[in-house]
Structure formats: structure tokens, C-alpha cells
Amino acid sequence: MGAVPPQPRPPVPPARDTRSLLLRGAGLVAIAVVSGLLWYLIRHDSAPDEPVAQPPAQNSGQFQFTKVAGPEKTGDCTAKSYGDTKDFFQDNPCQSLVRALYTTESGGAKALVSVVVVGMPDSSKAKALKALTEKDGTGNVTDLVRDKTFAATGTPSVSGSDAAYASKVDGTNTTIVLADFYAKHKDKDLIEKIADDALRLSADLHS
């Protein structure tokens, strides 16, 4: 028998380039990290801004007001009113009542201001309350001076004949303002401007 020719050896696979594989893996990891960072930054930049706190209403108008009493809160408007206004509440109970007192100064004159916010069941009754208290001799919501919740030497009677009156309706809320000067100071135009400006203080008393 003839000699058997030698069989060719199977090709040996080339050795893996371990360093190249490591570099490729590190590159993929770096790309993933950068992509994740970019996605975080995009989401962070597109997030809505945090709401900015609004200043209290007493510091945002023509006059600067300082709260000296209240807020006093109740749901019994009949017990905290007088005259025809008391009768009105007996037939039309309120849902809430918040009362407070403020002081302000202008040109050396100091004024005391009563602000009350009455919550009624609906806007029609809120308007009816405003219309009633606008009339002379119909009584009103009892302010914190009248019911002696607030008492100090020289405190003016904000429900007296010299007091200025202002009111407004905002939805189901009726705001009533009464204001008068300390030391029997007289300035009709100024005290009426103060009362009108104090209507905005209701924003601090709704909560």
C-alpha cells in the first residue's frame, strides 16, 4: 500500500484582540453615560418653573396696611351683625365670616380700617348684602371695635358717622370696609381713598 498523504491541519483561529474589545466596550459605556446625561438635562430644562410667591395684599397697593387684629372667623353672621343687616342674615344665613383690623398712615394721619369678608351661598345673595349695607341706617356686620374684640386708647369708632364705607362682590363673597382716622382727624377724600384701597385686603382673608 502506498503511503497515506498527510492531512492538512484545520486553520487556527486568530487570537482575539482583547485590548480592542475592552476599548470598544468602554466606548459604548461612555456613549450611554453621555446620552443619559443629555436626556436628564433636557428634561430638567423643560420642567415648569416653580410658582413665585405673591406678596401679601396689604403691601401691594396705594397705601401700606398693618394688621392689628384678626382674622376672626365664624359661621354665625346673625350673631355678628346689627340692624337690618342682622334681619337679612336671619333669612339668608351666611356660610362664613372673616373680620380683621388694619392701620395705615398717610401725610401724618393715621387711620383704622375694618375689613370683613362674608361668604354667601350664591352671588345673588352676596350682591343683595352689598346693596343693603350701602344704604344709611341699615346696620352692618359688627366690626372688631364695635364688639370690643379690639380696644386701645384713642381707638376710633369705624362704624361712626364719620367713617368711610366701601364694598365689593367677588363671586359669592361680599367685602365690606369701614375706615376712620385716629385723633379726630378730618380728611374726607383721603379716608375714602383709604377705604377703597383696603378692599384688596380681602385677598388675605379668604383662606
Decide which of 109 and 56 is more confident.
109
31-to-14, 27, 36, 53 alpha-carbon distances in Å? 29, 6, 9, 41
Within a 13 Å sphere around the CA of 167, how many CA atoms are in the beta-carbon half? 20
According to the model, what pLDDT value does residue 189 have? 95
Crossing angle of helices 123-133/84-91, nearest 10°?
Answer: 170
pLDDT per residue over 78-114, tens digit each?
999 999 999 999 999 999 999 999 999 998 999 999 9
- Same domain membership, residue 91 and residue 170: yes
CA dihedral 184→189→193→195, nearest 10 degrees, is 40
- Same domain membership, residue 164 and residue 80: yes
Average pLDDT over residues 154-177: 94
Q: How far apart are CA 42 and CA 52, in angstroms?
A: 23
What grid cell was written down for 83? 340692624
Cis before 13? omega within 30:
no
CB 169 within 8 A of CB 123: yes
- Same domain membership, residue 157 and residue 84: yes
Range of the domain at 38: 18-48
Q: Which residues share a beta bridge with 181?
A: 111
The pLDDT > 90 percentage for the chain reads: 62
Q: How far apart are CA 146 and CA 71, in angstroms?
A: 15
Q: How far apart are CA 146 and CA 150, in angstroms?
A: 8
What is the average pLDDT value for the chain, to the nearest integer?
Answer: 82
- Same domain membership, residue 35 and residue 131: no
According to the model, what pLDDT value does residue 196 have? 96
Confidence class of residue 52 from pLDDT cuts 50, 70 and 90? very low
Whether 13 is covered by a domain: the verdict is: no
pLDDT per residue over 124-157, tens digit each?
999 999 999 999 999 999 999 999 999 888 899 9
Average pLDDT over residues 1-10: 53
Asked if pLDDT for residue 23 goes beyond 90, the answer is no
- Same domain membership, residue 169 and residue 107: yes
Confidence class of residue 119 from pLDDT cuts 50, 70 and 90? very high
3-state secondary structure of 28: helix
Whether 27 is covered by a domain: the verdict is: yes
According to the model, what pLDDT value does residue 207 have? 46
Give Cα 54 distance to the centre of its chain: 7
Which residues lie closer than 8 Å to 171 by C-beta, 6 or more apart?
123, 126
According to the model, what pLDDT value does residue 161 have? 84
Number of domains in the chain: 2
Average pLDDT over residues 26-37: 56
pLDDT per residue over 181-207, tens digit each?
999 999 999 999 999 999 999 998 864
3-state secondary structure of 96: strand
- Same domain membership, residue 154 and residue 107: yes
